[in-house]
Amino acid sequence: MHLTAPVSFQDVLTDGLFLNAALDLAFDKAFGRVSTVEYNFHPPAGGPDAPVDVRITSATGIHDLHGTRVAVIEDEQWTWLTESTAGLDIPELSGTHAYSTELIHAARTVNAGHPVFIAEQGNHLAAVSVTLHDTALPWGFAVANGLGQVTPATDERRAFAAMQAALGIDDETAESAVSFAGDKLTSLPAQAPLRLDEVVADGHYRAAEQCLLYSGRFGGARLSLDWNRGLGLISHPSGAFPGFEARAHILATVSGGVFTWAWANPKLVQHPMARLAGNVRRFGFDHGIPALLRGHTSESTAKEQRLVQAAMRIVNVWTLETVKLDGETTGLVLVDAPQLQLPPLHPEVRAAVLRVPVAPGVDRNRALAAYEQLRQLQG
């Protein structure tokens, strides 16, 4: 896979996306939990790429490694001190800039993805690139992890090509393991591979019947969340039906046209109501489905790919409600309660459900077979 030289700072960040994730996995495998890190800076202290002895004490023992100082940080200003950015005519890779985590990511990228630690050196801080020697790892898992950091604008093909070049993955191996549509990944290595459209098909008619039930019985419903109890109150503003409580699972948020899985939202990821969203991500890992591993997707793409419908099938919760989390953000919430259980399937209901068209590219025969099986199991 061909990789052109980066021409922008965004290119540099893209080039490090999967590569840095791969080296993070290698670091965790080699060291486990780190307790202390010690640094010994070699003189002369002022030149570029000053050598640094690094001693890591961790769960796997004491490790002495080679490091290189690539920048100094003083008064929240980052100043590059390295030759590793030479030849790249990108303003952010030379001189002094306001300190940011993006500069750390860039420093990793131009140093083969190796981790960069921030160390004290005299009256300032230093960014130290630490060289790892054993970087063998299942790179497919690294890509799956890295997808959690992408944005809708990320060129995943470029990010993969950069990792492939850095890790020496041959084209035949890469092409047999992953696939793309444009600049987006569509499949990853997995022991039990599935395609997203297959998961969508498996849930299509079951989700359609649930939608008919909910809109018919509880049309105009509103949801309010009790975050402390993990419940939602489903009610009608005019009292058209008795309100009831339901188990509530926040699946994702939509803000500014961006769909974000709850597991990728730092405000939600630790909340028990986001647990099922984490199950969706694990399903994506197990079956090599990039769409379930991207932390952030455009709202239009999420709708086109039927991500919520796929998630319903994965977690077996079928009623979707929305709730305003703040002025900018809408929560997509799956709710479950006895009042939402399907009744026995009557022929006229089945006929109405089967009139709901499947999305383009979804196998109707598979969808029908999955629906029949689910309804037999669920009564």
Long-range contacts of 298-306 (CB under 8 A, 24+ apart): 298/152, 298/257, 298/258, 298/259, 299/254, 299/257, 299/258, 299/259, 300/257, 301/152, 301/259, 302/252, 302/254, 302/259, 305/196, 305/200, 306/200, 306/359, 306/362
The pLDDT tens digits along the chain (379 residues) read 789 999 999 999 999 999 999 999 999 999 999 999 999 999 876 789 999 999 999 999 999 999 999 999 999 999 999 999 999 999 999 999 999 999 999 999 999 999 999 999 999 999 999 999 876 777 899 999 999 999 999 999 999 999 999 999 999 999 999 999 999 999 999 989 999 999 999 999 999 999 999 999 999 999 999 999 999 999 999 999 999 999 999 999 999 999 999 999 999 999 999 999 999 999 999 999 999 999 999 999 999 999 999 999 999 999 999 999 999 999 999 999 999 999 999 999 999 999 999 999 999 999 999 999 999 866 5
CA pair distance 317, 179, nearest whole angstrom = 30
**Secondary structure in 3-state letters for 7-25:** CCHHHHHHHHHHHHHHHHH
Other beta carbons within 10 angstroms of residue 161's beta carbon come to: 20
Specify the pTM. 0.92
**Coil, strand or helix at 297:** strand
Cβ(371)–Cβ(358) below 8 Å: no
19: which 2 tokens?
A: 């590569």
Alpha helices in 147-274 (DSSP H): 156-167, 171-177, 196-218
CA distance 225 to 109: 42
The domain limits of the chain are 1-189, 196-378
